[in-house]
Structure formats: C-alpha cells, structure tokens
Amino acid sequence: MAHRFPVLVRGLVVPAALLWLATVPAAGQARSAGARPGGSAAKAYTPPRTPDGQPDLQGIWSNTTITPLERPKGVTGEFFTPEEAIEAAKRAAAEEAEQTEPGTIADVHYDFTQFGLDRSQSAMALSLRTSLIVDPTDGKLPPLSEEGRRRAAERAAERKRRGGPHDAVQNEPLGARCILMDRNGPPMIGGAYNNDYQIMQAPGYVMILTEMLHDVRIIPLDGRPHLPPNVRQWTGSYRGRWEGQTLVVETTNLTDKFAFQGASENMRLTERFTRTDEDTIRYQFTVDDPSTWTRPWSAEVLWKKTTGPIFEHACHEGNYGLYNTLSGARAEEKRNAEEAAKKGSLK
C-alpha cells in the first residue's frame, strides 16, 4: 500500500517524527511524567508563580499524541521501550501520510502533511505509554454497568431511528457541525491535527482557550458553587482550585449530547493540570459515571509547550464541508431515484 505515496512526502514526515523521539534516551527525558516510572523520581519541578501567587501554567500548549486512549490489541506492557516508541511513531507518521491517494477521490481532501497539520510535525510531548488510560492498569475502559449497556443500546436504536448519517444535519458528528470537538472536551483530548491551547491566568481565574472552535473555559478559583442541577451545558459547570502545584478542575452539569466515550449526563470529571517542567504540563483526568461504567477510570496526556499565535477558527462560518456533505447526499438520492425510474420505464 505504501508504494503509491510519493517518496517526498514520506521522507518529509518520518524524520520529523524521529526528530522528537531521537531525544528520548539522550536527553534523559525518560523521567518526564509520561515516561517509564522507576529510577529516581523526577526532581520536583517548581513552576514559576503568577503575580497573584498561582503556579504559572500560562503559555501556548499542544496535547498532540499518537498514544491511543485504549491500549491496542496485542500490546501488553504499560510502556514501550524507546525503540518500540520510535517504531510506533514511524507507523503513525506513515499512516497519516497515506490519508490521501493522488489522482483519486481521496486526494480531494487536503493532505495534512503538506500543511504541517499532521501530528508528526506538531509539538508533541514524549510519552512511552501504550495507552492514555492509566487506570484500570490494563489500559482499557472498564466494563459498562447494566444501566450503561441499556443506554448504549437505546442510543444505538435512536440513531437508527433518525436515519442515515447524512439524512439531516443533526445526524452528522458534532465536530463536523462545529459544535464541539474532542479538543474542547471535557475532557480535552487531542485529535488528528491542531491540538493547540492557550492558558492565561488572572486573579481568581484560569482561562483555557482551545484554538479549535475558539472555545474558552474560564475556570473560577473562588470556591463558588456549581450551577444549579437543572442548568446543563455542553461543557458543563467547571470550578477549579489549587492543590499544591496542581490545578484541579471539577466538572458537572453535563448534557447527554456530547456523551464522552458513551458517558451519561451524570458524568463527573476531575482534571488535574501539573506543570512538570518548563515545557510540559501533565494533564490527568478521572471520569466518574456509575450510570455508565462499573468503576471510575483515569487517563493521562502530556501537553507540550508550542508557539503561537492562536488564530481565529471560524468553523461554523466557513462550514462548506457540512453543506456539501448534505447537498451531495440529496443529489445522490435524486440521481438514484432517476436511475431507478429509468430502469422501471424500460421494463
């Protein structure tokens, strides 16, 4: 399959992926948060303080990762060796380079690699983890609870009832509709490209701007109560506090429309942001939703400092893709109906 892709593109991408991994053993970064534990624990890094005394998380960050949420089949260890990680990065880069097929309809979609949007050309923190999920230790989502199984079946039936994926705008994925993307969360997990965030702090607040969808969470730190239970928001009600060097954000009041990994609106999310060195934030989150899973589960992603600026992502305003998808589906139905009518008249 690989032979049909220009050597140039492959040559461009793979070294870029190797570039960051090449620093693995040499720079001794194996002590960073996502790396294999053991040996001497990293010297506790003390981040600088903001003028009002908060540990300083400010800057522009990327949570790009090639680590899947769940540990892939056939991988048993919790961590890769650096050599295995390099192989995994090469594979990921090659797969991203192969997303277009020159001269075919697949080529109509722009090639991420040409615009530097693919993950191997992004700032990416080193992690040797084989899954983002750290608890359960098998790196898999815990089993669904009985209620969780029932709701998954109900949701599948409801999707079927509403028709095909392009029958109506409401059937399209939330990201394609510019409503919410995985980068926005909550929890905030990187996607295939543009996983950039800007964090700013002001007295009493931490602000996190996700470039995708120009989405902002202004997290109050003053201990105020959550929104009343009847007020549900796509990104919920979020309140923060500092525990030592760690920003802890609790989110409730979610809807069942985002349904992160199949969660219910009762999902309670705890996120922890810890700056582990000048260029890295360890982002950990715990999902607690007994109406979906038999036990809470936790994951960890590293955020790497990157460069700005953050630009305006006017997704909805320029959403030709959604318009074309829907109008294309209608045109196809029309053509099929006409062909069927023609066949009928020939009989």
Partner 1 sequence: MRKWLRPALMASLGLALTVIPAGGQSRTYRAPRSADGKPNFNGIWQALNEAYWDIEAHAAAPGPVLELGASHATAGGLSIIDGLTIPYKPEALQKKQQNYANRLKLDPEIRCYLPGVPRANYMPYPFQVVQGPKYIMMIHTYAGAVRTIYMDDHKEAPADSWMGWSNGHWEGETLVVDTTGFNDQTWFDRAGNFHSDALHVVERYTATSPDHLLYEATIEDPNVFTRPWKISMLLYRRLEKNAQIMEFRCVEFVEELIYGRLRKQPGK
The residues that touch partner 1, with contacts defined as CB under 8 A, are 50-52, 58, 163-164, 166-170, 177-180, 198, 200-203, 205, 207, 209, 213-216, 218, 220, 224-225, 233-235, 309-312, 314, 316-317, 322-323, 326-327, 329-330, 333-334, 337
Looking up tokens 């948060």 gives: 33
* Least distance in angstroms from the C-beta of 13 to partner 1: 25
* Least distance in angstroms from the C-beta of 208 to partner 1: 11
User: Is it true that the peptide bond before 186 is cis, omega within 30 degrees of 0?
Assistant: yes
* Least distance in angstroms from the C-beta of 117 to partner 1: 16
Rounded to the nearest 10 degrees, what angle do helices 7-21 and 82-97 cross at?
A: 150
Nearer to partner 1, 144 or 209 (CB): 209
Nearer to partner 1, 153 or 168 (CB): 168
Nearer to partner 1, 56 or 78 (CB): 56
Nearer to partner 1, 144 or 322 (CB): 322
* Least distance in angstroms from the C-beta of 317 to partner 1: 5
Closest CA to 272 of 295, 296, 241: 241
Query: Do residues 212 and 181 make contact, with C-beta atoms less than 8 angstroms apart?
Result: yes
Nearer to partner 1, 215 or 271 (CB): 215
* Least distance in angstroms from the C-beta of 186 to partner 1: 12
* Least distance in angstroms from the C-beta of 164 to partner 1: 7
* Least distance in angstroms from the C-beta of 187 to partner 1: 17
What is d(CA 49, CA 279) in angstroms, rounded to the nearest whole number? 15
Nearer to partner 1, 34 or 240 (CB): 240
Nearer to partner 1, 38 or 309 (CB): 309
Side chain identity, residue 48 = P
* Least distance in angstroms from the C-beta of 178 to partner 1: 6
Nearer to partner 1, 80 or 193 (CB): 193
* N- to C-terminal Cα separation, the chain: 43
Closest CA to 126 of 36, 10, 247, 13: 36
